[in-house]
Chain A
Amino acid sequence: MDTAIRKSRPRIEAVNDLVVKFANVNGSGSASANELFARAILRMGVPVAPRNIFPSNIQGLPTWYEVRVSERGWLGRRGGVDMMVAMNPQTWDADLKEIEPGGYLFYDSTKPLPASKFRDDVNVIGVPLTEMTNARWDNPRERTLLKNMVSLGALAALLDLELAACETLVGEQYRGKEKLLAPNIEALRLGNEWVRTHLACPLGIRLRRADNVGDRIFIDGNSAAALGAVYGGASVCAWYPITPSSSLAESFAAYCQKLRVDPQTGARHYAIVQAEDELASIGMVVGAGWNGARAFTATSGPGVSLMTEFIGLAYFAEIPATIVNVQRGGPSTGMPTRTQQADVIACAYASHGDTKHPLLFPQDPNECFEMTAEALDLADRLQTPVFVMTDLDIGMNQRLTPPFSWDDAREYDRGKVMTREMLDEGRDFGRYLDVDGDGIPYRTYPGTHPTKGAFFTRGTTRDAYARYSEAGPDYVYNVQRLLRKFDTARSLVPSPILRASAEPTRLGVLYYGSTSPAMDEAIEALEAEGLHLDLMRLRAFPFADAVSEFIAAHDLVFVIEQNRDAQLRTLLMTELNVDAARVMPVLHYDGTPITARFITREIGAQVRALGVGSAPAVGGQAAGAR
């Protein structure tokens, strides 16, 4: 095969707007070189959004790292691949197919491949990575790891990625480990020089220094949620390992070690237990919440299924609990390493009997931080389980996000807790008595008072004073009050965010969570096509009144979700009595994060198929076709 770029072929020309996908073998040490690639672009002031697409495996199976580069700042998946860094023979054929016409294929040309392994409309760049690496290093482990750096150096030359930015990052990574630093730098330069000597650089797709990153930080949602739990005052964490949530609890442990240890005594202001299963992890959270500590767990769909009996108890016994659900593909073990928003209904109504729970939908790591802290307040205020509904896409990928901020004057909202002093003043204490009309009763912590305020917490029914009762009216009083409490939650949870179109329109879009960055990009593309839509990003369940008003104000509302069954749409129909014909599902559920192109295409197609345009109705007529 020739290793030069064939000038005669079509080639994509783009500066700072491209998608590079790395196809690797799990366990080959590619992850750190891939991350360096993304970080080096950030250091050039160009926004970047990488996504891991990985198997449930430690070594051997295929894994991908897709890097979206966008000077404009789009952080969602665009769809399509401009350059494939094809390092995995197992997936070669499928990887080749994914490349856009005029795109680029970068591969290790050490071993010759037949012409049938390439495409006529793709520009091929072969670099003898293994040959170069093996000629310089003897140790097999070194060869494997450094080949990734040779490759990075080569890509830097091809894409005008600043080698200095790569070297600075490598320097930071190996600070104090100079023995490792030198060969890494050498490998980078080896690949870089080979490409500069042998190939025409740069390619049609390339990078250029910009100033569009600003003060944003680069972090994954699980770490951000863990930090939110630290700042939100969680002192008890009980968890059970499950992808994609495990790194959340591990990150909580790491942050606590840095931030929650008494510098004088070394005593820990936190307790973390890796439980034997999710039944136990939620049980510990419920026990700690009952006893006055802020407690949380992190899990994923199968864990939530195991927790549901306890969630019902906590709902009925009115015990605060915060559950971060990093959603993945289901059902059952489903697609444990792929993303979905498929637990919406399971969490909204988790457990037997009549139950409903507040759900928060963060869109990015910054909101993972904010909403996890917020959930701990809400759980105490509402005395109920609260879910933070993140997903693998947000949780396990590093994302550019606004820096975290915290108001040092903020005090935790511990909700309605009757103290010893209040009991001594003679305040009437009915554990399940609605004294304020908001459905939220007072509670006492165990050990509060020698003779007042003790009660027996149970899942079976009782009267307003926590005395056992199977009397119908007592039960009805209780569950009606719980409904009032849920209604109170409506005004306490994060409100939806409206983004009105510049043009008047009868079409709307509802979306939530990790769909957000792809939606940001899609709406610009739709507007460019002349299709105008008002957007509303839902941030919580129960739905604020603004959501009903938004749906009522539009003829048709697209509900964009990453699940098969349009779960949030079902929730809208059930809870707000929305007419099914008014809410159109747009669903993406193959386990990969939704793309801007998918949303643009689906909404465009539906609008055309339905013959509705976005122009406002005139003189009482329904909006006609465009």
Chain B
Amino acid sequence: MTWIAKPRLHHPSLERNRVGYTRRDYEGKISTLCAGCGHDSISAAIIQACWELDIEPHRVAKLSGIGCSSKTPDYFLGNSHGFNTVHGRMPSVLTGANLANRDLIYLGVSGDGDSASIGIGQFAHVMRRGVNMAYIVENNGVYGLTKGQFSATADQGSKSKRGVVNTDSPIDMVSVALQLGATFVARGFSGDKPQLVPLIKAAIAHPGAAFIDVISPCVAFNNHAGSTRSYDFVREHNEAVNRLDFWPSREAITAEYAEGEVIDVAQHDGSVLRLRKLAADHDPTDRVGALNLVQSRSAQGELVTGLLFVDPDPEDLHRHLGTVERPLASLGTRELCPGQAALDRINASLR
């Protein structure tokens, strides 16, 4: 956390997006994370993605749990309301917030300790329910704030900075999300911003439960030889299955691609996810295929990254519950209170 506000002076020539904001308008306070922390790169990617998507910053609600990653919402989107909730319980708070006001954009930011260890239960259920959100886990395999204990995503055999070898099986968040019904599942790497920004954009635009597992090395406690979450290890073992470009519905696709290399996934709202295929055997609309791919590559010691699965026409919790289009928080006495006449009828039925 920081109490240092960034200066608000902008260079007049900074580029503005369609809603009139510069990139600086999407920034937050100065990060207090360690220099070189992968999480700061993810914050930068979120800022870039929101700016490119022409989102008004105050229309985003950013929620997090507890831990290094969960501090980061203070470091981006300073004009958005943020909520640093309870350790491992951000998903329920986000669910309630989403139920109250379906008009805002929900960004859930969490870590591997927060979502895979203490919070695996809530992580599972928020995916099952299809809450409309972009849920980012900044995954480094360790507890940073409490100085280097293993989290539940640490690989078996991975060595801690103090030389302890992890003996527990890891939880693969991507596989869990796929199995539990998330309708957008991706994996990124904090060291690959060009890959990450479009993934975040597509996740935000996805009208359902979108999950991105971002491998984000911890420079203080998990960046040494013997770790499977160090920058070096992830760079060597990262296999991107595709490169995503996200085209909002109002924009014509302008980039050129070599023929036969791309898959267009048309979204329900008219936007297009254009994927440059890197792995020939991967179809991003095949949930079972995605699970197989992730698991088989994992068995070979590889971490697949990219957009792994997307349902182009997902359902979300509001659709399941049949709630009114207007935010529930905006309903007043007229919509909520049935009045004395209805009460008279109820009284009469109870005699």
Residues of B within 8 A of A235 (CB): 100, 328-329, 331, 336
Q: Is the CB of A227 within 8 A of B331?
A: no
Bound CA span A230–B35, Å:
52
One of B61, B78, B317, B347 near A447 (C-beta < 8 A):
B61
Residues of A within 8 A of B83 (CB): 287, 290, 317, 456-458
Residues of A within 8 A of B124 (CB): 276
The winner among B80, B85, B93 for most chain A CB atoms within 10 A is: B93
Minimum Cβ distance to chain A for residue B250 (Å): 21
Given A275-B125, A283-B93, A284-B99, also A293-B328 (CB < 8 A):
yes
Given A235-B329, A270-B328, A448-B58, also A454-B100 (CB < 8 A):
no
A266 at the interface (CB under 8 A from B): yes
Minimum Cβ distance to chain A for residue B139 (Å): 22
Q: What are 26 of the A-B contact pairs (CB < 8 Å)?
A: A235-B328, A235-B336, A259-B342, A268-B323, A269-B328, A270-B328, A271-B328, A273-B129, A282-B92, A283-B89, A283-B92, A283-B93, A284-B92, A284-B93, A286-B93, A290-B93, A290-B100, A293-B100, A294-B336, A310-B86, A317-B83, A404-B343, A446-B80, A447-B81, A449-B58, A450-B57
One of A266, A284, A405, A455 near B81 (C-beta < 8 A):
A455
B103 at the interface (CB under 8 A from A): yes
Bound CA span A275–B347, Å:
31
One of A219, A259, A288, A468 near B338 (C-beta < 8 A):
A259
Minimum Cβ distance to chain B for residue A593 (Å): 21
Residues of B within 8 A of A459 (CB): 84-86
Residues of A within 8 A of B89 (CB): 279-280, 283, 309-310
Residues of B within 8 A of A270 (CB): 323, 328
A520 at the interface (CB under 8 A from B): no
Bound CA span A268–B323, Å:
5
Q: Is the CB of A269 within 8 A of B335?
A: yes
Residues of A within 8 A of B329 (CB): 235, 288, 291-293, 445
B337 at the interface (CB under 8 A from A): yes
Residues of A within 8 A of B98 (CB): 287
10 A-B pairs closest in CB distance:
A287-B96, A283-B92, A293-B100, A284-B96, A446-B81, A292-B329, A287-B93, A291-B100, A217-B350, A267-B324
Residues of A within 8 A of B337 (CB): 230-231, 233, 406, 410, 412
Bound CA span A411–B78, Å:
34
Given A283-B95, A446-B61, A447-B61, also A458-B339 (CB < 8 A):
no
Bound CA span A310–B83, Å:
13
Known: A276-B121, A448-B58. 12 other contacts (CB 8 A): A217-B347, A238-B96, A267-B325, A279-B121, A284-B92, A286-B92, A288-B97, A446-B101, A447-B61, A459-B86, A460-B84, A469-B3
B166 at the interface (CB under 8 A from A): no
Given A447-B59, A450-B58, also A273-B84 (CB < 8 A):
no
Residues of B within 8 A of A281 (CB): 92
Q: Is the CB of B122 within 8 A of A276?
A: yes
Residues of B within 8 A of A291 (CB): 61, 96-97, 100-101, 104, 329
Bound CA span A568–B317, Å:
42
Bound CA span A469–B1, Å:
9
A589 at the interface (CB under 8 A from B): no
Bound CA span A285–B324, Å:
19
B332 at the interface (CB under 8 A from A): yes
B79 at the interface (CB under 8 A from A): yes
B351 at the interface (CB under 8 A from A): yes
Given A267-B324, A459-B84, also A218-B96 (CB < 8 A):
no
Classify chain A: how many residues form its interface, as a range. 35 or more
Residues of B within 8 A of A596 (CB): none
B226 at the interface (CB under 8 A from A): no
Bound CA span A215–B79, Å:
55
Residues of A within 8 A of B94 (CB): 287
The winner among A272, A284, A291, A458 for most chain B CB atoms within 10 A is: A291
Residues of B within 8 A of A216 (CB): 351
Q: Is the CB of B3 within 8 A of A283?
A: no
B296 at the interface (CB under 8 A from A): no
Minimum Cβ distance to chain A for residue B167 (Å): 28
State which residues 306-337 of B face A: CB under 8 Å. 317-318, 321-325, 327-333, 335-337
One of A277, A287, A408 near B340 (C-beta < 8 A):
A408
Residues of A within 8 A of B74 (CB): 456, 468
Minimum Cβ distance to chain A for residue B166 (Å): 27
B346 at the interface (CB under 8 A from A): yes
B56 at the interface (CB under 8 A from A): yes
Residues of A within 8 A of B321 (CB): 268, 271-273
Bound CA span A294–B331, Å:
10
Minimum Cβ distance to chain B for residue A229 (Å): 10
Residues of A within 8 A of B96 (CB): 236, 238, 283-291, 295
Bound CA span A454–B59, Å:
11
Q: Is the CB of B324 within 8 A of A262?
A: yes
Minimum Cβ distance to chain B for residue A477 (Å): 16
Residues of B within 8 A of A293 (CB): 99-101, 327-329
A260 at the interface (CB under 8 A from B): yes
Given A291-B100, A446-B104, also A269-B336 (CB < 8 A):
yes
For B201-219 the 0/1 string (1 means CB < 8 A from A) is 0000000000000000000
Residues of B within 8 A of A407 (CB): 340
Residues of A within 8 A of B328 (CB): 235-236, 269-271, 288, 293
A197 at the interface (CB under 8 A from B): no
Residues of B within 8 A of A412 (CB): 332-333, 336-337
B73 at the interface (CB under 8 A from A): yes
Q: Is the CB of A450 within 8 A of B322?
A: no
State which residues 224-280 of A face B: CB under 8 Å. 227, 230-231, 233-236, 238, 259-260, 262, 265-273, 275-277, 279-280
B82 at the interface (CB under 8 A from A): yes
Minimum Cβ distance to chain A for residue B130 (Å): 12
Bound CA span A217–B346, Å:
9
Residues of B within 8 A of A219 (CB): 350
Chain A, residue nearest B105 (CB): A447
B2 at the interface (CB under 8 A from A): yes
Residues of A within 8 A of B324 (CB): 262, 265, 267-269
One of A217, A231, A447 near B101 (C-beta < 8 A):
A447
Residues of B within 8 A of A262 (CB): 324
Chain B, residue nearest A403 (CB): B347
Q: Is the CB of B3 within 8 A of A467?
A: yes
Residues of A within 8 A of B351 (CB): 215-218
Residues of A within 8 A of B85 (CB): 283, 286-287, 313, 459
Residues of A within 8 A of B327 (CB): 292-293
The winner among A260, A281, A447, A449 for most chain B CB atoms within 10 A is: A447
Bound CA span A405–B343, Å:
7
Q: Is the CB of A468 within 8 A of B3?
A: yes
Chain A, residue nearest B59 (CB): A447
Bound CA span A408–B338, Å:
9
Given A217-B350, A446-B61, also A231-B343 (CB < 8 A):
yes
Residues of B within 8 A of A268 (CB): 321-324
